[in-house]
Amino acid sequence: MSTPEEAEQQAARDAERRRSAGGYGGVGRSGKLDESIVHGAPSRELLAEWAVIEIDRDEVIYSTRRGGAPITFFKRLLARLLRQYFIELEARQTRFNIAVLERLEQVEQQAAHGAGGAQPDGGRQAPHRESP
């Protein structure tokens, strides 16, 4: 009789045997979602992607009610009517996000090169580099 523990081991052996015989072509690892997204800080590339606010309203405006189609239609119509306002809101938020990201990059560069302390020009000057 095969116990669950034996079955787990046997499954690993069977997978290996089938792979050796040319099976499971293209079948890869399961793995976990990127740890940097799930448990740590998002990468700089991802932050840059998130900084630009661009919302697909059809994607985020909907109703979960039974027979909610007319409500969804009305909500989307309302968003369309307010489009001018939302675009300005998104643009201003994006302007702020990008400015913060640029400033963050300057601070990181200063920290990486041991500059320490704030620079008189607010960090706009090129970071000091020591000659090798």
Partner 1 sequence: MTTVHQVLSSAGPYDAVSVQARLWRQLLTAQGHGGADYAASVDPRARGDFQPLQRLPAEGADLLIIRYSAHSAALMRVLERPEPKLVVYHNVTPPGYFWNHHVGVALACAVGRAQLPRFARAATVAAGDSEFNAAELRAAGAADARVLPILFDPQRLEPRGTPPAGEGPMVLVVSRLAPNKRHDLAIAAFAAWRAEHGVDARLVCVGEPVSPSYGELIAGLAASVDGGAVTLAGGVDQPDLNAAYAAADVVFSMSEHEGFSVPLLEAFHFGVPVVARPAGAMPEVGGDAVLWDRADDLAVTAELLQRAVCDPQLRQSLAERGRARLAEYEHARTAERIAGAVEDALSQGASSRLGRVRSEDLR
Q: Give the nearest distance from C-beta 59 to partner 1 in angstroms.
A: 5
Buried/exposed code over 80-91 (b: 16+ C-beta within 10 A; e: otherwise): eeeeeeeeeeee
Instruction: Decide if residue 70 touches partner 1 (CB under 8 A).
Output: no
Q: Which of 50, 73, 74, 85 is close enough to bind partner 1 by CB under 8 A?
A: 50
Cα–Cα dist 82/55, whole Å? 13
Per-residue contact track with partner 1, 3 to 32, x per CB under 8 A?
Answer: xxx-xx-xxx-xx--xx---xx--xxxxxx
Phi, psi (rounded to 5 degrees) for 74: -65, -45
How many Cβ atoms sit within 10 Å of the Cβ of residue 79? 16
Q: Which of 48, 51, 62, 86 is close enough to bind partner 1 by CB under 8 A?
A: 62
Amino acid at position 91, single letter: A
Instruction: Decide if residue 89 touches partner 1 (CB under 8 A).
Output: no
Cα–Cα dist 65/45, whole Å? 37
Which residues form the interface with partner 1 (CB under 8 A)?
1-5, 7-8, 10-12, 14-15, 18-19, 23-24, 27-33, 37-40, 42, 46, 50, 59-60, 62, 64-66
